[in-house]
């Protein structure tokens, strides 16, 4: 009798696992991680030795501004300066967030607008040197490349006009819960995904409304990623954080 009960329990557990799937079982509080296709340090060495795509046309003169210098209440949580990211390895040697000045000023306005609802902006990533974009592409399995930018085109992060962010609660100072975790490579991360609780989807909508009100557009596959309207007026950049003096 006991063996039969154990067998039925294992069968039910297996069925639940199959029906839910890996992405649904994972908590939105967990950090999504992948196994890189090749060692990260090998990819870093190759990316640093490679040149960004050649571009033609006229671009604005870049002016990267550090967000906390415009408003120190914009909170940084720069995941790629830690092991708390999808590659489990620091990509940056400094935990800093930059945007082109018009985008940075627009983000601060969105941050101020959110205060009336009890929220502030928490930044995971902003300007990203091109070599890191190449590392992401080379490290990510083919079935998940929809979540990383093509290095031969360059990312809007590379132009200093994209930002990855979420909300934090002004009372607690803590990040709020959203329908998925940051950098989760699943359909729960889609901007219009039905995943999550009604409260989580409402907070996602509050974030989107505030950002769109200041000229940003959400990336359809990532609720946390927003592109500034003038992104195509700036060149792809490969300046490392260490080389930015302000």
Whether the predicted pLDDT of 21 surpasses 50: no
Predicted confidence band at 5 (pLDDT cuts at 50, 70, 90)? very low
What percentage of the chain has pLDDT greater than the value 90? Answer: 85
Say if 63 falls within a structural domain: yes
Whether the predicted pLDDT of 240 surpasses 50: yes
Burial group, residue 215, by CB count within 10 angstroms (0-12, 13-18, 19+): middle
Q: Which residue has the tokens 């983000």?
A: 107
Predicted confidence band at 11 (pLDDT cuts at 50, 70, 90)? very low
Mean pLDDT across the chain, nearest whole number? 89
Predicted confidence band at 20 (pLDDT cuts at 50, 70, 90)? very low
How many domains is the chain partitioned into structurally? 1
Say if 20 falls within a structural domain: no
**What is the CB-side half-sphere exposure of residue 106 using CA atoms within 13 A?**
21
Say if 30 falls within a structural domain: no
Say if 238 falls within a structural domain: yes
Q: Which CATH number belongs to the domain containing residue 203 in this structure?
A: 3.30.1380.10
Lowest-pLDDT choice from 15-24, 52-61, 133-142, 203-212: 15-24
* The model's pTM: 0.86
Say if 10 falls within a structural domain: no
- 182: containing domain: 37-243
Between the CA of residue 10 and those of 21, 27, 45, what are the distances in Å? 16, 22, 47
Say if 92 falls within a structural domain: yes
Say if 233 falls within a structural domain: yes
Say if 27 falls within a structural domain: no
């Amino acid at each position: 009798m006991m063996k039969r009960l154990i067998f039925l329990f294992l069968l039910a557990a297996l069925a639940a696992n199959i029906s839910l799937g890996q992405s649904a079982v994972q908590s939105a509080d967990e950090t999504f991680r992948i196994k890189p296709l090749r060692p990260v340090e090998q990819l870093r060495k190759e990316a640093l030795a490679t040149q960004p795509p050649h571009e033609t046309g006229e671009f604005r003169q870049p002016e990267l501004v550090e967000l906390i210098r415009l408003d120190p209440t914009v909170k940084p949580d720069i995941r790629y300066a830690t092991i708390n990211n999808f590659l489990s390895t620091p990509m940056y040697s400094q935990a800093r967030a930059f945007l082109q000045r018009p985008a940075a000023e627009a983000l601060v306005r969105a941050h101020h607008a959110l205060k009336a609802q009890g929220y502030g902006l928490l930044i995971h990533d902003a300007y990203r040197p091109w070599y890191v974009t190449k590392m992401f592409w080379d490290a990510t399995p083919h079935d998940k490349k929809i979540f990383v930018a093509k290095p031969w085109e360059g990312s809007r992060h590379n132009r200093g006009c994209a930002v990855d962010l979420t909300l934090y609660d002004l009372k607690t100072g803590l990040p709020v819960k959203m329908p998925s975790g940051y950098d989760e490579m699943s359909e729960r991360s889609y901007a219009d995904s039905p995943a999550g609780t009604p409260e989580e989807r409402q907070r996602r909508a509050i974030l989107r409304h505030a950002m769109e009100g200041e000229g940003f557009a959400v990336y359809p596959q990532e609720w946390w990623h927003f592109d500034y309207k003038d992104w195509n007026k700036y060149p792809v950049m490969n300046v490392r954080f260490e080389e930015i003096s302000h």
